């Protein structure tokens, strides 16, 4: 079955993200969490917090379909080593993140949607792959301060 990425689909998953307390929503193209390759839309709204993390066993690719975000990359101590503004309107479409690389994003525009690709199967991140130097997702105030600080780097 052909799976079409359309404006209607992007609008639908964006609406779901806006209604979600985490301000993001996935739309999976892979059939199960055990699939060997995960392909998904990830609708992201400003204020969503993805704590810095790494995947020691897989690369991850983001392609921005609309909107914009800044992807941040860190060393083991939490220092920003690189950042890139992904915005298709500016000709910056995506990034491949090498395995083992600490990374996070800050969403700049409402309606931002990325196409994400990484190998499966899905496994929750172990605690050692979530940055100990960044706020936990449950620390809403700390996460807000952290994201503001990243935008000043």
The full set of domain ranges for the chain reads: 5-150
CATH architecture entry for 5-150: Sandwich (2.60)
Question: CA 34 to CA 3: how far, in whole Å?
Answer: 19
pTM attached to this predicted model: 0.95
Place 31 in a pLDDT band, splitting at 50, 70 and 90.
very high
Place 1 in a pLDDT band, splitting at 50, 70 and 90.
confident
Which pLDDT value is given to residue 49? Answer: 97
Buried/exposed 8-34: b ≥16 CB within 10 Å, e otherwise: ebbeebbeebeeeeebbbebeebeeee
Span 117-138, pLDDT tens digits: 999 999 999 999 999 999 999 9
């Amino acid at each position: 079955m052909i799976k079409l990425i359309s404006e209607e689909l992007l609008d639908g998953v964006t609406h779901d993200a806006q209604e979600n307390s985490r301000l993001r929503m996935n739309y999976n193209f892979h059939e199960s969490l055990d699939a060997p390759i995960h392909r998904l839309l990830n609708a992201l709204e400003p204020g969503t917090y993805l704590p810095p993390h790494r995947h020691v066993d897989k690369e991850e690719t983001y392609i921005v379909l609309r909107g914009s975000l800044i992807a941040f990359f860190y060393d083991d101590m939490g220092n920003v080593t690189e950042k890139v503004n992904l915005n298709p309107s500016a000709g910056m479409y995506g990034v491949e993140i090498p395995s083992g690389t600490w990374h996070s994003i800050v969403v700049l525009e409402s309606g931002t949607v990325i196409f994400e690709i990484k190998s499966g199967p899905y496994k929750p991140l172990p605690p050692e792959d979530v940055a100990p130097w960044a706020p936990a997702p449950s620390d809403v105030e700390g996460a807000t301060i952290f994201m503001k600080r990243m935008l000043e780097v």
